[in-house]
Amino acid sequence: MELIGKITADRPLLVLALKEEAQFLDTDLPVLLTGMGKVSAATALATVLSQGPRPSEIVNLGTAGALRPGLSGTYVVGTVIQHDFDGEFLAALVGGAYGEPMTLADGGDVVLATGDSFINDETTRARLAERASLVDMEGYALATAAELAGVPLRIVKHVSDEAGEGADRTWRESVAVSARVLADWAATNTPYRA
């Protein structure tokens, strides 16, 4: 975890998993690099939100794999789900609801599936494509931490690869392009500039 800058109540906090995704950010906004995966993301965000002033909003910028053919570009996520958490089984076992889909206030109609597995096989990709358009490793965890803290969240993902066979190689080759696009999006769409 690395926090760059100071969080204040009058401006957003930009949250990214990796420095590779943040490499072209040119902003006075605070930036939190959480590390990869749900545990790192949730722990890092919860830690900074508990230590001081809360930001006006959280903007998660990052890369995502396309689960459906032909998806490219940048998307503001409307709903986030967990793909590696068996909420139905747990609900049947102990009652209640666990791991329900989360709807984000200012999102579009794109569904993002979050899990701690990098999707690089066609069988998993096809199964996930029945429920979501994009896949990442942090979104649901960040949405949970933001909701518990009462801070609005936007999730913005740039497609870096087609999830499935070879996605790990494609991500490494395209992360710089995605980082440039995300930096441009942040410069245009985050309301605070010093």
Look at 128 and 172; give whichever has higher pLDDT: 128
Q: What gap in Å lies between CA 28 and CA 5, rounded to an integer? A: 8
According to the model, what pLDDT value does residue 91 have?
A: 61
Handedness of CA 115, 81, 22, 1 (dihedral sign): negative
How many Å is the Cα radius of gyration of the chain?
16
> Does residue 194 form part of some domain?
no
Tell how strand 13-16 and strand 58-66 pair up: parallel
Answer yes or no: is pLDDT of 193 > 60: no
Q: For 23-49, what is the mean pLDDT?
A: 96
> Does residue 16 form part of some domain?
yes
Total of domains in the chain: 1
Q: What gap in Å lies between CA 96 and CA 74, rounded to an integer? A: 35
Q: For 134-150, what is the mean pLDDT?
A: 97
Q: What is the CATH number of the domain that holds 138?
A: 3.40.50.1580
Look up the domain containing 165 and give its range. 2-189
> Does residue 166 form part of some domain?
yes
Q: Model-level pTM?
A: 0.92
> Does residue 38 form part of some domain?
yes
